[in-house]
Amino acid sequence: MAIRRGRGVAAINYPTGMNLGGDPTQALVHSTPTGNFMVTLSSVDLGQGMKQIMAQICAETIGVPTDRVIVDTADTDTGPHCMGTFASRGTHRAGNAVIQAAKEARQVMLEVAAEELEVNASDLETDGQGNILVKGAPQKSISIFDVALSAHFKRGRSISGRGMFLIPRSYPEKETGAMKPSTCYAHACTVAEVEVDDETGEVTVLTVKNVFEIGRALNPKMVEQQLVGGSWMGISHALYETTEPYYPSRDHGGTDFNQYLMPGPGDLAETEIIVLERPSADGPFGAKGPGEMCANPQIPAVANAVFDAVGVRIDTLPITPERILRALKAQAAG
């Protein structure tokens, strides 16, 4: 009996969004009388940081600081249409819709500023700090605060925009069934190193090294946090989590979250994250959707590492000590 070490590799590609009905998402953007901007969506922030990213995208497009943007995710009754927050589609679909809406609002803003400065709107630019300048003559400028006041109380204009992103729908070829379910894909590769006790069946994950290709990291720190958390979640799926260990029998099934097995801080492996940026042609500023993909490659990588360590293939999750010992027993008997 011994502690055996193994290494496993797994690589995946993951579609951003889906093909159903063009997978549409809409966005509305409007200015307040004081020059802040409101983004209205029905896309819900599940904790992955969508509000922050939408604020960044809107601010970058209009040319204002991010703290001048407020994101309201409202609900599906009062907000513009969205297919939902799933399929790693939030940043890609909603981000593109926000860009369209913000461009339209920016154009109105520049037109109002042009009237105030008595120039053409095409001669204006933003400085990213809340001001609109005449190109080549930055001393001639007006604050976005004053432009918003003028629009609301003098010019009778609504600084607002509407955006909708819709992908070209792909239909299956009659002869082959081939189709294009997504316009862009994210990619990942994981290398996991484990130790397996062939007497008890216990698995210890020593290191997990992940490489993710996500288009473009719009907020690098948030991307890192999501990818690290996803990597730990993948390990949890691989080795711990189940509500029905003897499905369809209810024997030993957890009855609440106190009995739902998950790894604690001491069970988490040394984790390395490398982000590759290959901007997507149709992504908002090149972004793809890394959301669900970040917890996927660790599962087959751990399974392959267990196989490398003790020579048995476990094809049912989670990979518990019991399943490993049963497989080793069957291997010895065979």
Residue whose tokens read 């793809």: 288
Residue whose tokens read 């290191």: 207
Query: Quick one: pLDDT at residue 96?
Result: 96
Under-70 pLDDT residues of the chain: none
Closest by Cα among 297, 295, 332 to 312: 332
Query: Quick one: pLDDT at residue 87?
Result: 79
- pTM beyond 0.85: the answer is yes
Written as one letter, the residue type at 317 is: L
Query: Quick one: pLDDT at residue 267?
Result: 87
Residue 77 near residue 52, CB atoms below 8 Å: no
Query: Quick one: pLDDT at residue 40?
Result: 95
Q: What is the pLDDT of residues 137-165, one digit of tens each?
A: 989 999 999 999 999 999 999 999 999 99
Closest by Cα among 10, 14, 13 to 303: 10
Going by DSSP bridges, is the β-strand pair 37-40/69-72 parallel, antiparallel, or unpaired? parallel
Closest by Cα among 281, 285, 274 to 213: 274
Catalytic residue among 60, 118, 292, 322: 292
What is the Cα 70 distance to its own chain's centre?
A: 20
Strand partners, 195: 5, 204
Clarify whether 292 is annotated catalytic: yes
Residue 34 near residue 145, CB atoms below 8 Å: yes
Query: Quick one: pLDDT at residue 188?
Result: 96
